[in-house]
Structure 1
Amino acid sequence: MRIGIVCPYSWDVPGGVQLHIRDLAEHLLREGHEVSVLAPADDDTPLPPYAVSAGRAVAVPYNGSVARLNFGFLTAARVRRWVHDGDFDVLHIHEPATPSLSVLTCWLAQGPMVATFHTSIPRSRWLVALYPMLQSALEKISARIAVSEYARRTFVEHLGGDAVVIPNGVDVGFFADAEPRPEWQGGTIGFLGRIDEPRKGLPVLMKALPRIVAAHPDTRLLVAGRGDEEEAVAGLPEDVRDRVEFLGMVSDEDKARLLRSVDLYVAPNTGGESFGIILVEALSAGAPVLASDLDAFAQVLDGGEAGQLFANEDPDALATAAIKLLGDPERRAELRERGRRHVRRFDWSTVGADILSVYETVTDGAASVAPDERPGWRARLGLAARDVPAGKEDRPS
């Protein structure tokens, strides 16, 4: 199957959506499919062989973070060219309500389209206001996927219709088989995320840290992610600051080794999460997980069975739970085992098969339409005759 995947966010700054798309593309390639990913990217960004740049993105505040998006006439021309050259059996559009490549592709292309919705946000006047403009694009989508019940709820409340829930996928074996690093072992707490993005919750963890260190003086906090390190520890007492070690941006391999090494992984995120892929990665690596009780996190952690939850944005609740877990190796071992069993449902062998089943459903439906009922390829792409490359005029639809 020829599959085109559209990523709305810049490939330069990896995030949950980009990593999901990357892993999905590589899973599909291993399964023998032809895959091309269109994504915003700077000219000097190294891209994998299956990825195509749609040009440089611009930073836009979005959902408590900053999204790097790509839009405009030049981008539209690149989208047309990519869709035409790819001759895809199915297009998989991620975040089609985002004003970037995704909505452009919906407007410009025809044929079988699958959309995945990742975002979970409260009632948004912005999305409601944009709906009339988005409606013509969204109506062209053949099947809709949401990565969680909370992403599905956002889609239903703002845009109508419904979506099947298929979670984000993880290569469980990659994390489970990683080798721990001795220097990251021994009384360590792990945190991965952008340091200067408040909703990732590092300030909550920093407020809890003095109590944790007072109860367990040998505890170290390992922080992986980009941001202002000095500002992150500015509120800590001097004698606690040296218990924090910043690792900067880490490779996928080192992320897996970090999660395999720590005694406890803490996810203090405060909101704006529709899933929580880092929780699944931590569970895959066998790390006991302590997470804020966001609805999406509670769902991933099976209501607290596969990991422990604490009251969101409450440093004292975080500290109390962490102190207890660090002092109870039997409880941590129990969480590890429960997590390993629970996480199997998120492996790409399962998630990829579910997504492929959606592709097959929409392509089978398209194939059942008589050829003379389908618009020609030029009309499907929204191309005028002057846009057709030489020698392509008679390409069949």
Structure 2
Amino acid sequence: MAFKNHSSRTVSTSSSLPFRFTTIITLLLIFYTSYYIFFSQLDHSPLTSSAENPPFAGDLRDLTSPWNKLSFGPISQKLKLAVFCKSWPVGSIPGGMERHAYTLYTSLASRGHEVHVFTVSYDRSNHHKNQEEYYNKGDLHIYFAPNENGGLNISHAFEIFHRINGVDRPFDYVHTESVALPHWRVKMVPKGDVAVTWHGIWYEIMHSKLFEELYYSNDHPISDLDHTMPRLVDEIRFFPAYKQHICISNSAREVLVNIYQLPKRNVHVIVNGVDQTKFVYSPETGARFRAKHGVPVGNGTVIVMGVSGRLVRDKGHPLLYEAIALIAKTHPQVYLLVAGSGPWGKRYAELGEHVRVLGSLEPEELSGFYNALDVFVNPTLRPQGLDLTIIEAMQCGKPVVAPNYPSIVGTVVVDERFGYTFSPNVRSLVETLDSVVRDGSRVLEMKGKACKDYALSMFTATQMASAYERFFMCMTNERFCRYPLHIDS
């Protein structure tokens, strides 16, 4: 049975073979070395303190675990923040980055901080190019500065930035989501004091290319592994242009400190959070979603799995497609709900009665989707960053099946109570899904409860915003770098 897109591979010259072989061997050595670094140094400490694991006290700049773990008190002082963001959720159904930005900056504005976001519309078809647009909602101010292609016109955005910087009072701090504010522009920021949140780094992207190369082997055109090393070296060289670095996983912090050689005190971990008022555990909502989409009711015998997001190759859908096709032969009670759009939607539909392709869901439908599942599956071949879908599913009380990447096992699925992890290949995923089915709905329900409790202790929008608030306060006034303060609980 042909599950992959087969095509012939040609090599231009025989001399390229030794080079590619050396490149892959080098990447493998770096890859396994990084695994050793990650798992020997990561903080897997429980949330509760003990004699062996005392609560943190000291300077927050020395904290190596996520700031989300700490309980920060309310701050009466209000900041004026400038934010550069690649796109903002307007019009079409937003992606994970846009949902993150909206959640974070809306939360900060609701706390009374004056937040100015320089960005472009996520739905470029509805945006008038080369025309500045602006809207505000209370203390949240959004400025759209598109170029002729609909991307962020950084020169235009900087003009607006400087104009706003002179109104009332200067910005207290400048923050950028990844390279929305390019490194060569940082020196143009007054004092050059800029913090950047990295949602993915080239060291992790290099791993993605490696996984794709290993998965597709000789059955698919080669990936651009040969070009990743120069990109990685270039990134390591320009990262110091940003003064402070925020990572969204423990493993990314280890890379920036140990591989990129950034000062420990300049690298911090603040894990993404999702709106805990929208993603909630609700069996009733899940039952309605199942009925609406004709999901079989088996009184605990049917195991409903789900996957969501962009249905594209690098998100691991060829991997899940093969695994579901195989697992359905031995476990006919498995049912898969596929939420999202992309080329693999049609392929999933080929699997017949075991799969229901739902298409893209509106944001308000996602909670019902997660609640309709017994387990959420994320088959991604991309180790970089943290997929919000995993956190959303956990908030809804669902266990997860995810690859055993450092960013996931070191920050999210840190305990087998929360779900299952697999190596990014078909055999491992099939074995894992088989374990899911054998465990059954009762075990999955217990794992889901553990997920919900852990997610509510770590991955809420409130905790994320509180951590960022304290971070910005710390960067502007060293007094707030001490923890705990009298305001902290």
Q: TM bucket by the smaller chain?
A: 0.7 to 0.9
2:117 to 37, 50, 54: 37
How far did residue 159 of structure 1 move? 6.2
Tell me, yes or no, if the aligned pair for 1:128 and 1:158 is still in contact at 8 Å. Answer: no
Q: Which residue of 1 aligns with 2:461?
A: 348
2:358 to 247, 254, 262: 247
Q: Which residue of 2 aligns with 1:80?
A: 162
Deviations 1:137-182 (A, max 9, x none): 42xx3x3321112322343333623301111112234211552213
Q: Which residue of 1 aligns with 2:445?
A: 333
TM-score norm. by structure 2 comes to 0.63
Amino acid at match of 2:365: D
1:146 to 207, 228, 247: 247
Matches within 5 A, 1:48-87: 49=137, 50=140, 51-56=142-147, 70-71=152-153, 73-84=155-166, 87=170
SS at match of 1:172: coil
2:346 is equivalent to residue 228 of structure 1: no
- Tell me whether 48-57 or 261-270 shows the greater mean CA deviation: 48-57
Once residues 176 and 453 of structure 2 are traced to their aligned partners in structure 1, the CA distance between those partners, rounded to angstroms, is 31
Q: CA RMSD in A?
A: 3.1
Q: Which residue of 1 aligns with 2:37?
A: none
Once residues 205 and 48 of structure 1 are traced to their aligned partners in structure 2, the CA distance between those partners, rounded to angstroms, is 42
Amino acid at match of 2:107: H
How far did residue 366 of structure 1 move? 11
Tell me, yes or no, if the aligned pair for 1:94 and 1:117 is still in contact at 8 Å. Answer: yes
How far did residue 22 of structure 1 move? 1.1
Once residues 43 and 83 of structure 1 are traced to their aligned partners in structure 2, the CA distance between those partners, rounded to angstroms, is 30
SS at match of 2:310: coil
Deviations 1:97-116 (A, max 9, x none): x3x43546523322553322
Structure-2 change in CA distance of 1:337 and 1:132 (3 Å): closer
Tell me, yes or no, if the aligned pair for 2:249 and 2:271 is still in contact at 8 Å. Answer: yes
Structure-2 change in CA distance of 1:271 and 1:304 (3 Å): farther
Deviations 1:339-365 (A, max 9, x none): 112112112232222211111111215
2:314 to 195, 199, 208: 199
TM-score norm. by structure 1 comes to 0.76
Q: Which residue of 2 aligns with 1:129?
A: 234
Once residues 104 and 8 of structure 1 are traced to their aligned partners in structure 2, the CA distance between those partners, rounded to angstroms, is 16
Q: Which residue of 2 aligns with 1:3?
A: 81
Q: Which runs of 5+ in 2 are unaligned?
A: 1-77, 128-132, 207-228, 298-302, 481-489
Amino acid at match of 1:194: R
Once residues 194 and 109 of structure 1 are traced to their aligned partners in structure 2, the CA distance between those partners, rounded to angstroms, is 36
Once residues 375 and 416 of structure 2 are traced to their aligned partners in structure 1, the CA distance between those partners, rounded to angstroms, is 15
Once residues 129 and 349 of structure 1 are traced to their aligned partners in structure 2, the CA distance between those partners, rounded to angstroms, is 36
Deviations 1:183-208 (A, max 9, x none): 35544221112112x22111110001
How far did residue 23 of structure 1 move? 0.7
Once residues 93 and 215 of structure 1 are traced to their aligned partners in structure 2, the CA distance between those partners, rounded to angstroms, is 49
Q: Which residue of 1 aligns with 2:273?
A: 169
Structure with the greater relative contact order (CA < 8 A, sep ≥ 6): 1 or 2?
2
Structure-2 change in CA distance of 1:269 and 1:133 (3 Å): closer
How far did residue 9 of structure 1 move? 4.7
Tell me, yes or no, if the aligned pair for 1:169 and 1:351 is still in contact at 8 Å. Answer: yes
SS at match of 2:175: strand
SS at match of 2:356: strand
Amino acid at match of 2:175: H
Tell me, yes or no, if the aligned pair for 2:316 and 2:380 is still in contact at 8 Å. Answer: yes
Once residues 363 and 19 of structure 1 are traced to their aligned partners in structure 2, the CA distance between those partners, rounded to angstroms, is 27
Q: Which residue of 2 aligns with 1:306?
A: 418
How far did residue 27 of structure 1 move? 1.2
Percent pairwise identity: 21
Once residues 261 and 309 of structure 2 are traced to their aligned partners in structure 1, the CA distance between those partners, rounded to angstroms, is 30
Matches within 5 A, 1:367-382: none
Tell me, yes or no, if the aligned pair for 1:188 and 1:263 is still in contact at 8 Å. Answer: yes
SS at match of 2:398: coil
SS at match of 2:386: coil
Structure-2 change in CA distance of 1:214 and 1:53 (3 Å): same
Amino acid at match of 2:466: A
